[in-house]
Every structure is written in C-alpha cells, then in structure tokens.
Structure 1
C-alpha cells in the first residue's frame, strides 16, 4: 500500500510541474504571432498564439468596389490559414509537455 501512495504522490508532483510549464507556455503564446495570406500576399491576417486577430493588411490594388465578394473570400482564406497555423503552434508548444505521460483516460 505504501508503494502505491508514493507512486500517486509522484504522479501528482509530475502533474503539478506539467501544469506550471503549460501555464508558462500559454503566457508565451500571447506574444507569438502567425500570419495567413491569400491572393499571393494581397491579404495578410496576423493572429496571436491565443487565436486573436491582431492585424489585417489589404493591398490597395485588391480593393475593387465592383467585386467585394472576392475581397471577402481573400480575407476569409487568410484568416482560416492564420487560425490553422495558430492551432499548430499551440499544439506544438503545449503538446511537448504532455508527451510520454501515461495517464489513464487521457489518451
């Protein structure tokens, strides 16, 4: 019984350490930025690691009052690309702290 208790305490310490590291990584993610582009760079959307849009750049030559739909499509495409990159960044940064853990029910 004593060995099981020590094992449980060790696992709890490991979990607390992992939680602290993940919190630190999440703070760092606020500062990270990724970009998504569309139309060969005509539209660029910048997103933080917390998936907040922080900037949108639209080149003047892509703005056509007679074709608003194209501009909307470019903005959507650039935003979706940036969000996908932000997801990958978050997964990469936080996932490295959970690798190798063999916790029942967390697979």
Structure 2
C-alpha cells in the first residue's frame, strides 16, 4: 500500500467534505486539537494509542495519519512496533473474552 498516495487522496476527500460541511469539519478539528495536545499523556503517547485504535478498527487512513503524526511527535520504529504488538493482543483478547461469554450465554439459555 502506498500510504503517501492514500493520505493525499484522503486529504483531498476531506477538503471536499469541508467545503460542503464546514461546521462539521471544524467541530472535528476542534475536538482533535483538544484531545491530542500534550497533557498528562504526551502527544506521542496519544498518537501511539491512535495507531492501536486504527489497527483495531481496520482504518488504513487512521493508521497512516497517526503514524505520520507519531513520527512528527518523536516516536521510534520500535515504539510503533510495540504498539502494533499491543493492538494484535487486544484484537485477539476481546475475541477470547466475548467467546467465553458466548459459551456462558449458551449454558444459560439452553437450560
């Protein structure tokens, strides 16, 4: 996948949306800025969280934009790789948890 081309295309699409729905786009940008600035968590830590969520939600655009922002915030390849490991674990972990609930539901509902 060519992430540079993907992000260019997505930026063009969001620019088109912004032209017809400026207030909605402005609201998202305002929320983004408020959430992503340094606070108790650094911007870098927040960007790594966004990468993990992008992976979990299977959003290539999110992955690309937040990897780029994480790099700008000082993230290393090793930090991104460790973030990917956590995302993989969480992608499998919820299946394990909900799978156990499915068996619990079967046991309760089959009586």
**Fold agreement, TM-score > 0.5:** no
Higher Cα radius of gyration: 1
TM-score, structure 1 normalization: 0.40
TM-score, structure 2 normalization: 0.38
Structure number with higher relative contact order (C-alpha < 8 Å, ≥ 6 residues apart): 1
Higher helix share: 2
